[in-house]
Amino acid sequence: MNIRPFIWMLGLCLLGWNARAQDPIFSQFYAAPLQINPAFAGSSHAPRAGLAYRNQWTGFNNAYRTYAVFYEQTLERLNTGIGFNIESDDAGNGILRTLRASALFSYRLQLSDRAAVKIGAEAGVHQTALDWDRLVFPDQIDPIQGPVITTSELRPDQTNRSLLDLSAGLLVVSQRFWLGLGLKHLNTPDQGILFINDNLSGGLPLRYNVNGGMELPLGRSNKGGMSSFISPNFLFASQGPYRQVNAGAYLAIGPVFGGAWFRHTLANVDAAILLIGFRQDMFKLGFSYDLTISDLAARAGGTYEVTLGLFFDRGRKRPIDWNDCGKMFR
């Protein structure tokens, strides 16, 4: 008997319908910075855009897939940054889908010639949609024939919800380091479908991210203007009962970059993250693989991500800009 559809149904009950799911977070968070902190909007001197794709736990046959696209730029005369971010998350091979589309704004406060504080805000729509017709319930499973057609479960009146979602962030940047705090889902929108909950405390839990790092140069820029450096960095994320810490380093040698991180859930070591990529002109392509080392490794398999960044600097030569936050982000 194939019980996989039933497993998906059970998982959706626990994660989707009670609005207690954990947001997906890219392992290559530096390639999709608006996902973790709206203050990153306009954090580079030239406009940039990016695409990201994540396939989590490949052993479960497209169990969790996440897509993202973003654009952001700075408005130098106004000391501000603007951008948009769109994310789509598919769970259960598309049975439960979440779409987040938002606009972002940031304002820079100059502390000194070499340091600044950026304050960010984000407002958007959080939509959850359930494909009810693809669910299989216990009373549909025949011991011999497997899933059958009829069920006593009543189809809900509403299988999708769209709600306002608000976030904010703070980012400190200087010549060699950055430190940021992002607060997602400030209004804790209730994404539940079957059990509508008007109590905000029962909605999507507040997620806060703390990330930081430093940049250590390894040599002068080459003829193409690309420098070599190493960037130790970390990301801590907390949402409801879930915690995770990513700690490691990003290394760039001219046009080639790579890195390694460990992800820990505070209860156990979850995965080792390996990165390799290439930068040429305005294009930046990265590939990472999360090697699962927890108890899920035997069944879940690994996770991979592919990211594409576009940096529209048009070859302009500019003096050092302390608003330009870390080379690993571009």
In the chain, where the domains are located: 4-329
d(CA 191, CA 250): 36
Measured at the CA of 90, the angle between CA 86 and CA 95, to 5 degrees, comes to 135
d(CA 2, CA 141): 9
Of the two residues 200 and 76, the one the predictor is more confident about is 76
d(CA 93, CA 250): 32
The residue among 81, 68, 80 whose CA lies nearest residue 26 is 68
Q: Work out the average pLDDT over 246-268.
A: 93
Query: What is the token pair recorded at 166?
Result: 């608000």
List of long-range contacts for 111-116, beta carbons under 8 Å, 24+ apart: 113/322, 114/174, 114/175, 114/322, 115/172, 115/173, 115/174, 115/175, 115/322, 116/172, 116/173, 116/174, 116/322, 116/323
Q: What is the pLDDT of residue 149?
A: 67
Is the confidence at residue 92, as pLDDT, over 70?
Answer: yes
Superfamily covering domain 4-329: monomeric porin ompg (2.40.160.40)
Q: What is the pLDDT of residue 9?
A: 45
Taking the mean position of all CA atoms in its chain, how far away is CA 288?
14
The residue among 129, 7, 3, 126 whose CA lies nearest residue 57 is 7
Q: Do residues 92 and 98 touch, judged by C-beta distance below 8 A?
A: no
DSSP 8-state assignment for residue 139: G
pTM score, whole prediction = 0.83
d(CA 105, CA 50): 17
- pLDDT tens sequence across 97-143: 889 999 999 999 988 888 899 999 999 998 888 887 777 777 777 77
Q: Is 16 exposed, middle or buried (0-12, 13-18, 19+ CB in 10 A)?
A: buried
Tracing tokens 């130790």 back to the chain, one arrives at 232
Least confident of 36-45, 154-163, 186-195, 278-287: 186-195
